[in-house]
Amino acid sequence: MNLAIVPLAALLVAATAGAPAASVAQMTARLDALNARRDDPGALREARALADAAVARAPSDYGVLWRAARVLFTEADDKRRPESDRSALAKQAYDLAERAIAVNPNDAAAQYWAAISIGTYAEGMGVVRALANGIEGKFKRPLERATALDVTYDHGNIPVVWAAYYLELPWPKRDRDKAAQELKQALQINPNNLRARLYQARIAADEGHKDEARALLAQIAAAPVGRYDAPEERAVKREAATQAANLR
């Protein structure tokens, strides 16, 4: 049986009927399959329902907890949602990832989702207020741990997250040189990483190198989808199109 295509209804029945541990494996496999289609609203709704059921079924299972955090982060990352909803979802994602870390502190997944979830929560507060409230440490500690455990996790996006951090810091802490170094590492890990190219274009534009920025954005526009993470690639293409339209 291909666990990735087991219908949600069957998984929920198994989860509520006292099924053996194999049902947890079915649910996590299905969550991974749905994550590959997370920009489909129906897939994301199914993932949220399944994540909630999986946490209820196995509240101390590491694989369930970090995957549930990933689902809630995905919901929080939707900029069409009200800021208050995004912040609440990001905090819930962070709490789930922290629970996963308590179960297993030696795997990159939970550390990574904790870091980017609290980062999204901080966005809602505003960078200066987040720094004043000690959020920076809650972001940096798990990201440093994820970096040490597996810097290649999530298609090379750990260095991309570091780059975003260095670019979002207020002056004088902002550091484009460090960001550029992180993006170079991300592209060494995954040469197809479109978000790394997007941030390179942002740095080029900020430094007045508009032709370089346009060339990078054109590379993103021309890149085929499906080389590593189709929903992420499609999202970056949309952001790149907006950035290109605003580039003067």
User: How does pLDDT run across 14-29, given as a tens digit for each residue?
Assistant: 444 454 544 899 999 9
Tell me which residue range forms the domain holding 39: 1-58
AA identity, residue 140: K
pTM: 0.89
Residue 33 lies in a domain: yes
Question: Computed from CA positions of residues 118, 123, 127, 128, in that sequence, does the dihedral angle turn out positive or negative?
Answer: negative
In this structure, the dihedral spanned by the alpha carbons of residues 229, 64, 141 and 184, taken in order and rounded to 10 degrees, is -10
Q: Does residue 241 lie within any of the structural domains?
A: no
Q: Which residue has the higher pLDDT, 147 or 134?
A: 147
Please report how many Cα atoms fall inside a 13 Å half-sphere around the Cα of residue 78, on the Cβ side.
17
pLDDT, tens digit (0-9, with 9 covering 90-100), for 43-72? 999 999 999 999 999 999 999 999 999 999
18 part of a folded domain: yes
Residue 1 in this model has a pLDDT that exceeds 80: no
Residue 157 lies in a domain: no
229: left (phi over 0), alpha (psi -120 to 50) or beta: beta
Contact between residue 162 and residue 147 where contact means Cβ atoms under 8 Å apart: yes
User: Is 38 domain-assigned?
Assistant: yes
User: Looking at residues 22-40, what average pLDDT do you find?
Assistant: 94
87-104 residue pLDDT tens: 999 999 999 999 999 999
| 18/23 Cα distance (integer angstroms) | 9
pLDDT at 16: 45
Kindly state whether residue 52 falls inside one of the protein's structural domains.
yes
How many structural domains is the chain composed of? 1
The reply to whether 30 falls in a domain is yes
